[in-house]
Chain A
Amino acid sequence: MITFAKDFKNTAARITKDLRHRGLIQRALHSYEVKRDEFKGRYQNWSEARQAASEIKWEAINHLDKYLQEFIAKLEARGTRVYVAGTGDQARDYILSVAKENNVRTIIKSKSMTAEEIDLNEALEHAGCTVFESDLGEYIVQLRHEKPYHLVFPAMHLTREEISDLFQKELGSEPTNSPEELTMIARRAMRQNYCRADMGISGANFAVAETGMISITENEGNARLTTALPKIHVAILGIEKIVPHLEDLALFLPMLATSGAGQPLTCYNSLFGGPRQPGEVDGPEQFHVVLLDNRRTELLADAEQRDSLHCIRCGACLNVCPIFKNVGGHSYGTTYQGPIGSVITPHLRGLQNWKHLSSASSLCGACTETCPVGIDLHHHLLHNRRNAINEKPLWLEKILYGSLVILLRRPWLYWIAGKLGVIFFPLHKLVNGTPLDPLHNWTKTREFPAPARESFSDYWRKKKSAKEVNRGTP
């Protein structure tokens, strides 16, 4: 279990020193910030919109059983097959069984973090299917056999030169340093895949209960092609994606675009309510919706942190997080990076294994401030720390604090400790920062402050007696 924390520390230490990487991320995020602020500024009242978005998600999540039931009933009434999966294994097995039943060989996939969460691609490839990621960023990280770096911008850690080298090696294309040409190489590579794929797999951004529709937000058009041409469409989504009404999207779609990518509205916002209906000219013959729990109900059971299920995965909290900007997305070792990942991963994968992420925070609150649905992110990091320590106390820390209590309650003992500090401090200098140093964890990156030559109480006593001498005792 310690390995997750150790991996995080090691990778974070390495990446933080990489100034080229930091420069790349900070430049990309700066242009995002400028655009985000421009379009936020066009809202007549962003904070009211945010409060409303938070209340709508509160309503949906706190009546999840009711809305989910309505969503499923509406979908099934129009010929959609809905599968509710308790675990990632069950979701994978279901999708594999659909693929097997229909002799699926080639699969085209549009971006889905929920599919990443359950390692769907690996399972499908293991079963002999070829999977093509169609989103440009996802395609790039798939060719590199890497996990997405950021839940919205999967390849933001790569330069155009690195992508050109990758395409040269994997696709045999000519070298170029033009983002436009690189995009066209991917476009050409993917075109035939849309037409020949037997199955399209997508995620979803929202699930509209009232009409039984999923909503997919994207810029490239790859999700539209993935869901239009293959005979089978499988959509996988977490049970928390619910919104009650169709018109709620009038608020969520622009807020998602502005918070997530600094756009007024994402290029394609599409709603899907079933397989091809009578009288329609195209669309899949089968539409499967896989609803995934995978321990989201544990998060739901924690009333204090339930609002983290309001998350619409816009990635805004990553973009403003000083930790994310320095350690980068791959250090986390999780599907969901940044503040939201640090909050929910301990619930999804085990508190003791992932509690270290909640400590990797300056608690500046930028995440909470920017969250479009008002999740109390930085307090939840504190809640996770508290829960972790209550569940499994750190004895060394307990003993240290216990001793400190004894010390602070006895002025004479405190006085002696102060004197000892002054005597022993010069000796500490000999081992300062080395592994022999008992304060090594602190001193390897910081200076340990020298104790004052004269303590405040000594100073005060001296000053007081001097005054009394001057005044003379009556």
Chain B
Amino acid sequence: MALPDQREAVFARIREALQRPAPHRHDGHVDYDMSGHSGVEAPPPESDAFRAWLPSVGSSIDDQITLFAQNAAALKADFRPVTSLDEAARQLAVLASENGWKRVASHRHSVASGLAEKLGLPCLLTDAGYAAADLEQCDAAITGCDALVAQTGSVLVTTASAGGRALSVLPPHHIVIARRSQIVPDLASALQLVRKLYAPNWPSFLSFITGPSRTGDIERILVLGAHGPKKLTIFLLS
């Protein structure tokens, strides 16, 4: 690159600026004269401590599924616990005919791609690469996921678990296939799970999807389906 990077100059300014210590804030009070400054810094809190302050989550899996279902309903996501693959396939076929799907997309996945093919519709698999314009023509995307987060009603996807970056956001209806074992209580455990699954070979993209795409940019009135999916359906297989 022809342009010289300014990092040396910027880092020099940062180090120079940090020569003077900054006051801490305690109980809403800042000690600007620094007379109480002991020079010893307490380490910032760890993520496990966050749980005591953030919205509470039940400890059993069933509590967590109940909370996830409540959150999904509030977010206007369609959450469907099913007891068998056949039931999921039947419900998916009903969704396909109700919404008039003509073409769907999916990716190689132990369950998702099988369900997509059962629909008997043309099915685009993203695994070997795809043209964006083709994916844009699909009416629905059926993907896997890494986790469902009870605390927030979120679906965690990565490039590895959901067929890349675009599959779960470009088609207007996103169908997520999750297993009961993928329920996690909160965001901290979801991030710890990602670390366990992938580090140090992190996927280049991961996302917490919390309900269908939305906007409030016009008079702060909620509208679903701004640029991403208008509908989000989550199947939980147990």
Residues of A within 8 A of B (CB): 24, 28, 31-32, 42-46, 48-49, 51-52, 54-56, 58-59, 61-65, 68-69, 72, 78, 81-86, 90, 93-94, 97, 134-137, 140, 153-156, 158-160, 163, 179-180, 182-184, 186-187, 190-191, 194-195, 211, 213, 219-222, 224-225, 227-229, 239, 244-251, 253-254, 261, 264-277, 280-283, 287, 291, 293, 297-298, 300-301, 303-304, 306-307, 374, 376, 379
Contact = CB atoms under 8 A, between A and B. Distances in A.
A182 B216 CA distance: 12
Given A246-B195, A269-B154, A300-B17, 9 more contacts: A48-B53, A54-B25, A55-B45, A228-B165, A249-B191, A250-B188, A254-B55, A274-B204, A293-B10
Given A94-B3, A282-B130, A297 B14 contact: yes
B227 A225 contact: yes
Contact of A283 (B136, B204, B225): B204
Given A180-B223, A247-B47, A213 B202 contact: yes
A42 B153 CA distance: 14
B40 interface: no
A376 B22 contact: no
B166 A303 contact: no
B44 interface: yes
A254 B187 contact: yes
Contact of B5 (A51, A84, A179, A187): A84
A194 B132 contact: yes
A199 to B, nearest CB: 14
Given A247-B192, A281-B163, A136 B10 contact: no
A281 B208 contact: no
B21 interface: yes
Interface in B206-223: 206-221, 223
A376 B154 contact: no
A136 B164 contact: no
Main SS of the interface on chain A? helix
Contact of B214 (A64, A156, A225, A267): A267
A160 B206 CA distance: 35
A227 B165 contact: yes
B49 A52 contact: yes
12 contacts: A43-B54, A45-B53, A81-B1, A93-B3, A183-B226, A191-B136, A220-B228, A269-B154, A269-B208, A276-B204, A374-B28, A376-B30
A86 B13 CA distance: 10
B207 A300 contact: no
Given A43-B53, A227-B165, A379-B30, A244 B187 contact: no
B170 interface: yes
Contacts of A81: 1
A52 B51 CA distance: 12
Contact of B226 (A31, A97, A136, A245): A136
Contacts of B205: 227-228, 270-273, 283
A159 B126 contact: no
Contacts of A32: 220
B33 to A, nearest CB: 10
B226 A155 contact: no
A35 to B, nearest CB: 9
Given A135-B217, A229-B166, A301 B17 contact: yes
B6 A86 contact: yes
Contacts of B91: none
Contact of A271 (B21, B163, B207, B229): B207
A154 B216 CA distance: 11
Given A48-B53, A293-B10, A97 B1 contact: yes
